[in-house]
Amino acid sequence: MAKIAMLGTGFIAGFYTLSINGLRNRDQVHMVCSLDDKSGRKFAEKHGIPKWTTSIHDAVNDPEVDVVVVGLPNNLHKEAVLKAAEAKKAVLCTKPLGRNAAEAKVMLDAVEKAGIFNGYLEDLVYPAKTLKALESIKNGVVGQVIWARSRETHPGPHSDWFWTKEISGGGALLDLGCHCIEIGRNYIGKEIRPVEVVCWSDTIVKPIDAEDNTIGLVRYENGAVAQFEVSWSFRGGMDLRDEVMGTEGTIWINNFLRTGIEIFTAVGEGAYIAEKAESTTGWIFPVADEVVELGYNNMFADMLSAMEKGIECKETFYDGYVVNEIMDACYRSAKSKKWEPVELQNWRGNEKTEPINKFKEYNKDYYFVKEEKMPDGSVKLILKDKKTGQIIQK
């Protein structure tokens, strides 16, 4: 049984606490830390947590605490992680790991020097649909992945600090792009090096200093590309979708917005419907169990079980660091309007990855281009002559 110090009492800390207290039934949030005593007391009473404090130091160093979960605003991640490393406590940190790659690298170095278990709380690689897709990719169902697309858009985050660049470190790219970039890494293969990015980012709708919309491409060493689309100005709720295209197949995933439950109401729901839902009347799309649908339960089960077994979990601080380096490159590209290199100071994947096999052989004389069944029932083959380069059909 793990006894956990939850740092933070905001929206994400609530989801984390529901997952921890409810899934394995043997772990417990033992201490909660809020910068505001009233919020901490209220959060503790709501979730049945025995202790609360306004001191990060006291929460981390409570003698009964085994694991520190960081669910604080972005500007406090480094302080909390360094305190956990100093106390030799296992630490799990919400996304993004840092406001930039430099912060992330300091945190990565600290936990590895301390020799403590660390987990990067990237919930959106843990939904059941995503895990199933990753298993299918591993089993070769789609062949070699050549393109992945991940989209997260909604009307904007919950708390004021997200909208303040000095605290958050950035806008939609940092807040949502971190999800989509790591999803793309998982689909393409985390062992394959991301080499360069091109990115458009702008502030179009919101009266803020940071960006509210971003689209980017991350190119990997084998030629595969991960596309991400994020927005803080999308209307209609939260849209989470992934697509994967391989040499032998395709995967589509819709994780949110259209949830599988559709209700029409003229009078309104009255209660909470789903994260970022904008309307309580008309057609609404409730979520049966958000901590399940968004992967929180699988994430904490993976991390706490890995900690017990003394093995590495699926998402570590190293993954968070790589994501921060990719996002830094995206910010550079948004300014330069050019492809920018991903400047990884620490790379642990393949030293060299062979390019995707572009040509499939039909026989010794031809490459295969396409096969299609025609309306009359015949089958048409499009082939390329290896010697002449001529495209033929038969």
CA geometry: angle at 85 spanning 80 and 89, to 5°? 95
Q: Is 164 exposed, middle or buried (0-12, 13-18, 19+ CB in 10 A)?
A: middle
Give me 8's structure tokens. Answer: 């933070």
* 83 pLDDT above the threshold of 70: yes
Quote the percentage of the chain above a pLDDT of 70: 99
pLDDT at 8 over 70: yes
CATH 3.40.50.720 domain position(s) in the chain: 3-124
The tokens for 6 are 């939850």
For position 260, what pLDDT does the model report? 75
pLDDT at 23: 62
- Residue ranges matching CATH 3.30.360.10 in the chain: 125-294+313-341
Has residue 268 got a pLDDT over 90? no
Mean pLDDT of 72-96: 98
List, in order, residues 6 or more apart from 235 with CB less than 8 Å away.
155, 278
- CA dist list (Å): 328 to 287, 299, 343: 34, 26, 9
Q: What is the pLDDT of residues 336-362, one digit of tens each?
A: 999 999 999 999 999 999 999 778 889
**Whole-structure pTM value:** 0.92
Element (H, E) at 165: helix 165-168
User: What is the pLDDT, as a whole number, of residue 102?
Assistant: 98
**Which tokens go with 178?**
């971190």
Q: Which two tokens stand for residue 289?
A: 């169990």
Tell me the pLDDT band of 256, cut-offs 50, 70 and 90: confident
Tokens of 72: 């604080």
For residue 24, what pLDDT band results from cuts at 50, 70 and 90?
Answer: low
Summarize pLDDT for 288-343 with one digit per residue, the tens.
788 888 999 999 999 999 999 999 999 999 999 999 999 999 999 999 999 999 99
The fold for domain 3-124 equals: Rossmann fold (3.40.50)
49-87 core/surface letters (b: 16 or more CB in 10 A; e: else): bebbbeebeebbbbeebbbbbbbbbbbbbbebbbbbbeb
Please give the class, per CATH, of domain 125-294+313-341.
Answer: alpha beta
Residue 285, pLDDT above cutoff 90: no
